[in-house]
């Protein structure tokens, strides 16, 4: 809500517009960006987003790579903590709340599809970046989110979703300065195009 408030204030004051405003974050910041692109208000405030090495599935994060070590911070999704975590899990917000896809109940039974909580939702132009060799946040988080956006949300709701996965690099997304420069060049080129900065 803090970032929503700041973004809204920037727009309301005339300092910028939705079409020129972007958010970017990696790792835990990727979780933040994932929430911004799926929350009803925030998703309407940003023209573009960059989601780097993100944590996006808060139901299964503790079963992937270093995720179990974060339960003290986030909570254990296999307990009653899930009720809170569910509200901050971008993958679930997208698939089940926005798109109305069936969700498993606490007993592992597939529930009925639901109506969208936000039928007018539209994903900002978004670039996801990750690393095959990330040893902290599994690249599966970004892969499955992008798959859902491309295959389930489709072009009407998610018109521009791009994905780049480096096969090296660990959690930083790049193995050396050359790869790091390449990754940031991709990022800034995406933002320049998505926000139409090249013609400004």
Over the stretch 100-128, which tens digit does the pLDDT of each residue have?
999 888 778 888 888 888 899 999 999 99
Sheet holding 161-166: strands in order across? 22-26, 48-52, 125-131, 161-166
Rounded distance, CA 159 to CA 50, Å?
A: 15
Rg of the chain over all Cα atoms, to the nearest angstrom: 17
User: Catalytic: which of 88, 116, 171, 182?
Assistant: 171
Q: HSE on the CB side for 110, CA within 13 Å?
A: 4
At a CB cut-off of 8 Å and minimum separation 6, what does 187 contact?
24, 50, 52, 127, 129
Q: Residue 56 pLDDT more than 80?
A: yes
Q: What band does 199 get if pLDDT is binned at 50, 70 and 90?
A: low
Catalytic residue (choose from 27, 44, 116, 182): 27
Query: Would you list the DSSP string of 108-175?
Result: SPBPPP---S-TT--PPEEEEEEETT-SSS-THHHHHHHHIIIIIIHHHH-S-EEEEEESS-GGGT-S
* Residue 171 designated active-site: yes
Confidence class for position 134, pLDDT limits 50, 70, 90: confident
d(CA 48, CA 122): 11
Contact 58, 94 (CB under 8 A): no
- Mean pLDDT, residues 180-187: 94
42-67 average pLDDT score? 94
pLDDT in tens, 152-175: 999 999 999 999 999 888 788 777
Helix, strand, coil share of the chain (percent; to 5) = 50, 10, 40
Given a cut of 60, whether residue 6 has pLDDT beyond it is: yes
């Amino acid at each position: 809500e803090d970032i929503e408030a700041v973004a809204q204030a920037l727009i309301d004051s005339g300092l910028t517009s939705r079409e020129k405003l972007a958010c970017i974050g990696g790792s835990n910041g990727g979780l933040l960006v994932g929430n911004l692109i799926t929350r009803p208000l925030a998703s309407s405030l940003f023209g573009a987003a960059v989601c780097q090495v993100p944590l996006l599935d808060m139901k299964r994060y503790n079963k992937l790579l270093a995720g179990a070590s974060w339960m003290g911070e986030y909570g254990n999704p296999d307990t009653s903590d899930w009720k809170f975590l569910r509200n901050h899990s971008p993958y679930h917000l997208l698939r089940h709340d926005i798109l109305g896809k069936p969700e498993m109940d606490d007993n592992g039974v597939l529930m009925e599809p639901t109506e969208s909580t936000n039928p007018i939702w539209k994903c900002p132009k978004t670039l996801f970046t990750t690393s095959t060799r990330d040893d902290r946040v599994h690249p599966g988080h970004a892969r499955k989110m992008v798959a859902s956006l491309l295959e389930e949300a489709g072009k009407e709701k998610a018109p521009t979703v791009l994905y780049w996965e480096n096969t090296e690099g660990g959690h930083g997304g790049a193995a050396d300065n050359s790869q790091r420069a390449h990754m940031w060049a991709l990022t800034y080129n995406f933002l320049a195009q998505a926000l139409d900065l090249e013609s400004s």
